[in-house]
Amino acid sequence: MLKGNSSYIQQINKRLVLECIINEESISRASISKKLSLSKPTVSSIVDQLLEDEWIYETGNGESPASGGRRPVNLKFNPQKGYIVGVDIGGTKVAIGITDLNGKVCEFTVFPTQQYEGDSIFNEIQLGVETLKKRLHLSDSKLLGMGVGIPGVINMASGLVIEAPALKWTNFPILEKLKERFDYPIFVDNDVNISVLGEHWKGIGQKRDNLVYIAIGTGIGSGIMINGELYRGRNFSAGEIGYMVTDRDYAKNYRPVFDGYGFLESVASGSSIGNELSKRIGKRVTAKDAFDLYLKKDKDAVTVIDFAIENLSLGIANYISILDPELIILGGGVSESYHVISDKVQSIIDRFTPKKCEVVQTAFGIEAGVIGAVALFLKEYDSIFDI
Amino acid sequence: MLKGNSSYIQQINKRLVLECIINEESISRASISKKLSLSKPTVSSIVDQLLEDEWIYETGNGESPASGGRRPVNLKFNPQKGYIVGVDIGGTKVAIGITDLNGKVCEFTVFPTQQYEGDSIFNEIQLGVETLKKRLHLSDSKLLGMGVGIPGVINMASGLVIEAPALKWTNFPILEKLKERFDYPIFVDNDVNISVLGEHWKGIGQKRDNLVYIAIGTGIGSGIMINGELYRGRNFSAGEIGYMVTDRDYAKNYRPVFDGYGFLESVASGSSIGNELSKRIGKRVTAKDAFDLYLKKDKDAVTVIDFAIENLSLGIANYISILDPELIILGGGVSESYHVISDKVQSIIDRFTPKKCEVVQTAFGIEAGVIGAVALFLKEYDSIFDI
DNA sequence: TATTAGTTAGTAAGTCTTACTAACTAATAC
DNA sequence: GTATTAGTTAGTAAGACTTACTAACTAATA
């Protein structure tokens, strides 16, 4: 806990005033004073500073009440006060975007992740960021910083990617690589962690503070938000739902095909569904193909996918029993077929959990990772503006 | 977030100073000033107030350094400044204790939980508390309040025990019942929740802030501490490990014998071990009997207990995968036989989790619940003293 | 053994910063 | 014209800080 002094007091109150202005479409000094129980001179003084720093602006007068009185001056938050770069590095593509403080993606670009030496990818990112800056005519001073999402285990303190199988990185000094090319603050975290931050800020998880985001794709991983804060765990390994065991007997014969691959991933991920069905029908199919066949009631597809659904549902149910979250949000390639299986999933969950919990599919599209990466930055960056 | 003003600042600094004094065996004003980067007059002013309110006391002079200089005055925390009542209501017994602010149990008593109407049990508790107060010659002003632990789901906001099967309570207004008999602040929570608080404060979980406490007895439940705070979940149902499913196929035929009873409880709790073995050998045995037979390599006992161990271990492993805690502490009747099965449990856990996590048995004895209940009170009660 | 120089703990007085109250002006509805 | 409300100014309150001081101590020296 920080010791208190006068400047600490003002920092607290300034954050409160700014948050108040953000939460209302527009608001007056008198209204802020009432809402926050701060005296009118105090509010006026703080508003003067926020106006000077361009966090807010005046938008003309409001209406005076029927009882009479001076018209209030309306104040509004200025989302163009600053911009943030969001970078989402995936196994197959890298997305880069620049957003304002409302999370509006002003510019966006994507390129395929190629099997370069690690450094070439950073040169490409640097080029992408410069391109987007030019399109927006952004000065350096307007850029507050950068958030980056990566599929792997990240140690935020040391700035190392401890392991990221999809990118073939181990103990990779990503923060150093990025700081060589960008001279503003940078924060890096796991991709499902930034996803739950993004859902909380601008997604389907808004206005709730205890969320779980589960990504079901080539792997299965999850991000956890508790009391409005990302929960990472002691070894930055919280949320490894892919490791969960839901079939004791079947798990006896389970052997990980590589390090960092868990039981639930081996039975319920997109790639394992595709692989298992391919084996059975003697033909190469993808997970999407598998779901299409499932809808056509193909016997093999039904067997493989029902087995996966049962394990996945139990994994989600176990999550609910342990965390009792407000909402579970599903993302990743397999979640796009969620409507196909949602009734069955919900039925299993309802049967094995103490309390009902809503499970929904993310509403975010291709820009999800960028918004999540920006949310990471805004959460970690020390400023009077917070999300 | 509270708005900042001068009295808020002083509250912050007073807490910091008190915490500093508690954390050292004894300390001087000058030392506190250095440690907290507060000016010496500020520390002196705050220390004066703490002395006046008897939170601390002076214990003579320390040594001056070899470089010369005035001897410091040593200050110490006064654990007798206040006392707290802890009440642990179990299915078979009720424990009552009074502790000081160091968690020292000064007086303790226990009586069997009898099948009274609910109110008789509160009369007995009131009698017990009065008896302990008399033994300690405690005035009312010295008693800060009461913490209570109960095996069930508690809504802390409404003060209702939503359900407690072992006590046969449903939507039971426990806070009201207690406030009728005691006129100081009272906090009630689930018994595994208070257990993890107790382990954090005075138990094996000291100095760590991300803990899980798992109680394995007639049921199986757990308490979760995250970043030093108890995590209860959206419906006060977090930590319901007893509901976890670890055997997909076996769970297909699972039917709860009553509401509030989950899959893992049905295969790994003490009562289910005893019941299952009794069925097999056609003779009534307890869980303890079962473990004794297991040690003697009785075939049926081995089958039943190995099955329970596998499921329990996978449940713990799943917990580690999801939460990545610093420590898992086991309590409850079955945990007393943990040494018998710990190697097998650890082996399964190590195989199915991404990161190693220590699993230990609680070191607490009969007074565990009382200390946990007191910890609940000290966590929830708004005072400059915090744990 | 007495004295002096240097160091440290704790206190006194004044200053600074921020929020507050009281009083005021500007602006509006009825 | 009166009552009401928004916003501003002047002066005050509370807490922490800085500066200077006193009290108390050790090491070095005569």
Q: Say whether B51 sits in a helix, a strand or coil.
A: helix
**How close A237 gets to chain B, by Cα (Å)?**
6
Residue A257 lies in a domain: yes
Averaged pLDDT for residues B127-131: 96
> Mutate which of A234, A263, A320 to test chain B, going by most B C-beta atoms within 10 A?
A234
Residue A142 and residue A172 share a domain: yes
The complex's ipTM works out to 0.91
pLDDT of residue A378: 97
pLDDT at residue B331, rounded to an integer: 95
- What is the pLDDT at residue A278? 95
All residues at 6 or more sequence positions from A291 whose CB lies less than 8 Å from its CB, including other chains:
A301, A305, A337, A340
Residues A323, A221 share a domain: yes
Domain match, A258 and A354 both: yes
- Measured distance CA(A331)–CA(A193) in Å, rounded: 12
Are B62 and B94 within one domain?
no
Cβ atoms < 10 Å from Cβ of A155: 15
pLDDT for the residue A115: 63
Whether residue B11 is predicted with pLDDT greater than 80 in this model: the reply is: yes
In a domain, A370, yes or no: no
Is residue B264 scored above 90 in pLDDT?
yes
pLDDT tens for each residue of B324-367:
999 999 999 888 889 999 999 999 999 999 999 999 999 999 99
In angstroms, how far is D28 C1' from B59 CA?
32
Tell me the residue type at A256.
P
A137 in a structural domain: yes
* B3-32 residues touching A, CB cutoff 8 A: 3-6, 8-13, 15-16
Question: Do A10 and A86 have their domain in common?
Answer: no
Are the CB atoms for B36 and B43 separated by under 8 Å?
A: yes
Measured CA to CA, the distance from residue A264 to residue A308 in angstroms comes to: 9
**A380 located within any domain:** no
Question: The domain spanning residue A46 has which CATH number?
Answer: 1.10.10.10
SS3 B109: strand
pLDDT bucket at B246, cuts 50 / 70 / 90: very high
Among the listed residues A333, A331, A376, the one whose alpha carbon sits nearest the alpha carbon of residue A103: A376
**B38 neighbourhood in chain A, CB within 8 Å:** 3
- Cβ contact A262:A250 at 8 Å: no
Domain co-membership, A259 together with A285: yes
Q: Looking at the structure, tell me whether residues B153 and B259 fall in a common domain.
A: no
Rounded CA separation B75/A248 (Å): 57
pLDDT at A78: 95
- Per DSSP, helices labelled H in chain B are 6-23, 29-36, 40-52, 118-136, 174-181, 191-202, 248-251, 263-268, 270-281, 287-295, 299-323, 338-352, 368-380
Please tell me whether residues B145 and B250 are part of one structural domain. Answer: no
Contact residues for B105 (Cβ-Cβ < 8 A; gap 6+): B97, B98, B99, B367, B370, B371
DSSP letters, A271-315, are HHHHHHHHHHHTS---HHHHHHHHHTT-HHHHHHHHHHHHHHHHH
Q: Which of residues 55-114 of A touch B (CB under 8 A)?
A: none
Q: Considering only the beta carbons, identify the residue of A243, A249, A321 that sits closest to B243.
A: A321
How distant, in Å, are the alpha carbons of A19, A67, A150, B365 from that of A39?
A: 17, 22, 46, 54
Together in a domain, A276 and A313 = yes
Give the pLDDT score at A331: 95
A334, A274: one domain: yes
B385 lies in some domain:
no
Q: pLDDT at position B117, please?
A: 67
CB of A266 closer than 8 Å to CB of A276: no
Longest CA–CA span in chain A (Å) reads 82
pLDDT over threshold 70, residue A117 = no
Helix (H) or strand (E) holding A85: strand A83-89
Q: How far is B280 from chain A (nearest CA, A)?
A: 21
Q: Are A73 and A171 in the same domain?
A: no
Model confidence at A65, pLDDT cuts 50, 70, 90, reads: confident
Both tokens assigned to A274: 């595709």
Answer whether residue B378 is part of any domain: no
Q: What does the alpha-carbon distance between residue A220 and residue A218 come to, in Å, rounded to a whole number?
A: 7
How many domains does chain B contain in total? 3
Would you say residue B61 has pLDDT above 90? no
Q: Give Cα B211 distance to the centre of its chain.
A: 11
Return the closest-CA partner of residue B80 out of B64, B101, B109.
B101
Q: Could you say which residues from 260 to 289 on chain A have a Cβ atom under 8 Å away from some Cβ of chain B?
A: 260, 262-263
- Would you place residue B116 in the very low, low, confident or very high pLDDT band (cuts 50, 70, 90)? low
A368-380 and A191-202 helices cross at what angle (nearest 10)? 90
Range B255-260 average pLDDT: 79
Alpha-carbon torsion angle B61, B67, B69, B75, nearest 10: -30
- Residue B115 CB: number of other CB atoms within 10 A? 8
Q: What is the pLDDT of residue B47?
A: 92
R_g over Cα of chain B: 24
**What's the pLDDT at B225?**
98
Long-range contacts of B301-304 (CB under 8 A, 24+ apart): B301/B277, B304/B273, B304/B276, B304/B277, B304/B280
The answer to whether B71 CB is within 7 Å of strand D is yes
Kindly tell me if the per-residue pLDDT of B184 is higher than 90. yes
The mean pLDDT of A72-98, rounded to a whole number, is 95
Q: CATH number, domain at A316?
A: 3.30.420.40
pLDDT in tens, B288-310: 999 999 999 999 999 999 999 99
pLDDT for A318 equals: 97
Give dist(CA A181, CA A320) in Å, integer: 42
Q: Which of A36, A52, A77 finishes a domain?
A: A77
- Nearest-angstrom CA–CA distance, B180 and B173: 11
Across residues A319-333, what is the average pLDDT? 96
Look over chain B and give the mean of its residue pLDDT values, rounded to a whole number.
93
Query: What are B65-106's pLDDT values in tens digits?
Result: 888 888 898 999 999 999 999 999 998 899 999 999 999 999
In a domain, B306, yes or no: yes
Residue B68: predicted pLDDT:
83
Residue B196 is predicted with a pLDDT of: 98
Residue A18's pLDDT band, with cuts at 50, 70 and 90, is: very high
Do B314 and A248 make contact, defined as CB atoms within 8 angstroms? yes
Contacts of B5 in chain A (CB under 8 A): 9
pLDDT tens, residue by residue, A165-179: 888 899 999 999 999
Establish if B379 belongs to a structural domain. no
pLDDT at B115: 64
Query: Nearest residue to C20 (CA, C1')?
Result: A39
A143-150 vs A186-190, strand pairing mode? parallel
> Residue B329's beta-bridge partner residues?
B213, B360
Q: How far apart are CA B191 and CA B372, in angstroms?
A: 8
CB B327 within 8 A of CB B212: yes
A348 and A260: one domain?
Answer: yes
CB B227 within 8 A of CB B210: yes
- Which residues sit opposite B212 in a β-bridge? B224, B328
- Average pLDDT estimate for A190-207: 97
Domain that holds residue B144: 81-184
